[in-house]
Amino acid sequence: MYRYNDFDEAFVRTRVAQFSQQVARRIDGSLTEDEFRPLRLMNGLYLQLHAYMLRVAIPYGTLDSRKMRQLAMIAERWDKGYGHFTTRQNIQFNWPKLQDVPEILSALADVEMHAIQTSGNCVRNVTADHFAGAAADEIEDPRPVAELLRQWSTDHPEFQFLPRKFKIAITGSPNDRAVTKAHDIGLRMVRNEAGEPGFEVIVGGGLGRTPMIGHVVREFLPKADLLPYVEAILSIYNELGRRDNKFKARIKILVHETGRDEIARLVEERFEETRAEFAGTDQALLAEIERAFAPPAFRVAPTDAFDAFYKADPVFRAWADTNLAPHRAEGYAIVTISLKAHGATPGDATAEQMRLIADLAETHGHDEIRISHEQNVILPHVHKSDLPAIHAALSRAGLATANVGLISDIIACPGMDYCALATARSIPVAQEIATRFEDLKLEHEIGPLKLKISGCINACGHHHVGHIGILGLDRAGVENYQITLGGDHTETAAIGEKTGPGFAYDEIVPAIERIVRAYLEVRSEPAETFLETLRRVGHGPFKAALYDAEGTKDAA
Amino acid sequence: MSRPFIPKVVTANALLEGDVVYLTADDRWTRHHHEAELIEDEAHGQLRLIFATAQKGVVVGAYLADARPGANGPEPIHFREVFRTRGPSNYRHGKQEVAAR
Ligand code: HEM
Ligand code: SF4
């Protein structure tokens, strides 16, 4: 794992000291809220519906046990004993008190973490494939490049006041688990004809009010050119982005209005200049960072214990079938720990759960942890012979829900239970859907299905790219939920289509059930997934299930 | 024709804790919606908002929210304001926690 050097350390400590002063001056009245607000946001501190909220970056979703334990300590000491993992690989603490925040930031700095650039019109936390460094389909670990981008973008003097926030996602696999097509810049590692690794560069994707799938501006960018190329994109955006209108300020609008070809031309032109300015220091730095990400010494050991358990124990088998993914090393697996127990708040983990995960990572996982954009936690490197022990420990802590990729593995933003911008709640809707399908005992029958919920048009819950998306709205003072179908967050990304009028709070769960029952009826065979069926038969049967007179009766 | 004025309360968040608070008729900040001053006159509402906004060392983000008279004092109208009176749905945190003590 990357360790801070003296510069990083001093930088983060100075920031904490500055912010302590700013908080003190806000409390004693020498700073007004108007003066203080931008300063607190620069340090990840928001004011939400019922309390302050501190957003802490987890760069490219990577943690170790030391960091996880510190997050647990913070949750216990200064919050209410839990934290919320988000779709942007951040953790949010929902209840800090203003005067405690400097101490929290200082505790984070002790473990090389911070909340810098988790708000504002700058380059936000660079996100990455949560299976980075472990996935069987990976070309290269994308995290060294993500770390390079983090260092380059942190306090970059030119890019602190962009027209709007800027999000970069990166994957080292051709299979996209980082939603690269819905980011301002998405980087997907591919090989050229000579077999050399490089990046497909995607620009202008995004969700929110105007959802768009990004355009490929470069099919193959050699790895060594990445930083000057990204800098060229940022610099064109900084110059031409629409500062006159907040709703049109994202780079997706610039790409849309200017056209992909013209943007690509401008970027290439600027790239010629930026490349000349990068004298190779970035490559020297990258080489240094790469050493810090050297893979752990994988064990060679028999997997008989795993095979025996798998055969004998149906509960273990169900969990292994849904929550494990193929690892690049012989005898290893990637474990996804579901933070979606039926009826729980998606993405929340208690301090005890965080500590247990830290212990498991330390004893059985080469001390590596990842946070996924799907709001789950991952132990990327686990030898299969350790899986029975891990499963037993997770079961005791309520963390062994076998539902990864299924209908109850829901992404949900905080919605109006926490968020000041929300137009409706998302958390209770997610909780009720998960509980309903648990009661029906249908979710394994349904198979892979991505359900995503946002509490407003900002789309923090990624509803546009959910196979089933739910958007909470305010219709004349009551909560109303709009459904989209057919979204896809992978390399075949697509924005979902609205089905029609929305549903009231007490109608939304039955409506989702009708969609799912329609799928079970029209799928050609059990192996045909929801998305495949939808693509084959179109929206007709689902709209009928939702809106036809007969279908409108509560399916319960 | 001008629409009838919907009564209001002044609400904000407490500076130190972030808690939702309401302005009372005797110029205090309370955590309880029913203790708020129910403002039935538009011009008076503006004055109260100016008063609240000036309390920069105590609260942040003061605004006027629709309310109606109830048996126990003012009640919120919009569901957002209802949620603000009680805290999140998923845990008994915030006001619910305090009320349960
Ligand atoms: C609670 C405080 C939050 C605030 C104030 C907030 C604000 C916003 C806003 C204003 C946008 C729209 C940006 C635009 O289109 O220009 C947005 C988008 C987004 N936010 Fe949040 N958000 C919050 C929480 C979260 C959380 C908890 C998550 C993850 C669960 C998240 C992840 C995202 C994502 C993924 C998008 C859409 C991607 C895109 O902009 O293209 N945000 N947020
Ligand atoms: S989608 Fe809306 S409600 Fe949900 S976290 Fe984002 S801003 Fe808040």
ipTM: 0.94
Pairing of strands A369-371, A377-383: antiparallel
Are A183 and A251 in contact by the 8 Å Cβ rule? The answer is no
A87 alpha carbon – ligand 1 mean position (Å): 9
Q: What is the pLDDT of residues B3-59, one digit of tens each?
A: 789 999 999 999 999 999 999 999 999 999 999 999 999 999 999 999 999 999 999
Residue B11 near residue B21, CB atoms below 8 Å = yes
Residue A359 CB coordination number (10 Å): 15
Q: Which residues of B touch A97 (CB under 8 A)?
A: 16-18
User: Is the Cβ atom of A465 under 6 angstroms away from ligand 1?
Assistant: no
For residue B101, the model assigns a pLDDT of 56
Q: Name the residue of A46, A53, A413 whose CB sits within 8 Å of the most ligand 2 atoms, as the mutation to test its pocket.
A: A413
Mutate to test the interface with B, among A23, A30, A32, A50 (most CBs of B within 10 A): A50
B56·A27 Cβ contact <8 A? no
Atom number of ligand 2 nearest to Cα A472: 3
The pLDDT of residue B94: 86
How far is B27 from chain A, CA to nearest CA, in Å?
Answer: 20
Inspect the interface and report whether the beta carbons of A52 and B60 lie closer than 8 Å.
Answer: no
Calpha distance A275→A268 (Å, rounded)? 10
- Give A 456-475 residues with CB within 8 A of chain B: 474
Angle at B62 between CA B58 and CA B63, to 5 degrees: 165
Quick one: which ligand is closest to A479's CA? Answer: 2
Buried b (16+ CB within 10 A) or exposed e, A202-219: bbbbbbbeebbbbbebbe
Between the CA of A269 and the centroid of ligand 2 the distance, in Å, is: 37
- Give long-range contacts, CB 8 A cutoff, 24+ apart: A233-237: A233/A185, A233/A201, A233/A203, A233/A267, A234/A123, A234/A158, A234/A159, A234/A162, A234/A166, A235/A158, A235/A270, A235/A274, A236/A263, A236/A266, A236/A267, A236/A270, A237/A162, A237/A163, A237/A166, A237/A184
Q: Pick from B15, B66, B84 the residue to mutate for testing the A interface (most A CBs within 10 Å).
A: B15
In terms of phi and psi (left: phi > 0; alpha: psi -120 to 50; beta: otherwise), the region of A334 is: beta
Q: Which residues pair with A479 in a beta bridge?
A: A474
The predicted pLDDT at position B97 comes to: 82
Distance from Cα A9 to the centre of ligand 2, integer Å? 32
From chain B, the residues in CB contact with A98 under 8 A are 15-18
Q: Do B18 and A48 touch (CB under 8 A)?
A: yes
Contact residues, chain B, for A342 at CB < 8 Å: none
Q: How far is CA A176 from the centre of its chain?
A: 13
**Which residues does a 6 A CB cutoff place in the pocket of ligand 2?**
A 413-415, 419, 421-422, 454-456, 458-461
Q: Reduced to 3 states, what is the DSSP secondary structure of residue A554?
A: coil
Nearest CA-CA partner of A233 in A174, A308, A183, A282 = A183
For A417, the enclosing helix (H) or strand (E) is: none
Whether the CB of A531 sits within 6 Å of ligand 1: no
Chain A segment 472-491 residues within 8 A of B by beta carbon are 474, 477-479
Atom 6 of ligand 2, residue of closest alpha carbon: A460
Mutate to test the interface with A, among B79, B81, B82 (most CBs of A within 10 A): B79
Are A475 and A503 within 8 A, CB to CB? no
Tokens read off for A492? 């075949």
Instruction: Tell me what pLDDT residue B100 has.
Output: 58
Task: Give the distance from residue B101's alpha carbon to the nearest chain A alpha carbon, in angstroms.
Answer: 15
> If you ran DSSP here, which 8-state letter would residue B6 be given?
P
In whole angstroms, what is the distance from residue A469 CA to residue A451 CA? 6
A325-369 pLDDT tens trace: 999 999 999 999 999 999 999 999 999 999 999 999 999 999 999
pLDDT at residue A556 in the model: 39
Which atom of ligand 1 lies at the shortest distance from residue A252's CA? 41
Q: Are strands B59-68 and A185-191 parallel, antiparallel or unpaired?
A: unpaired
Q: Record the tokens describing residue A334, joined without a space.
A: 């990637």
Task: Establish if B19 touches chain A: CB-CB under 8 angstroms.
Answer: yes
- Contact with chain A for residue B77, Cβ under 8 A: yes
Q: Which chain A residues are Cβ-neighbours of B78 within 8 angstroms?
A: 477
Residue A256 CA, ligand 2 centroid: distance in Å: 24
Q: Ligand 2: which residue has its CA nearest to atom 2? A: A456
Contact present, B74 and B88 (Cβ < 8 Å) = no
Low-confidence ranges of chain A (pLDDT < 50): 551-556
Check if the beta carbon of residue A178 is closer than 8 Å to that of residue A143: no
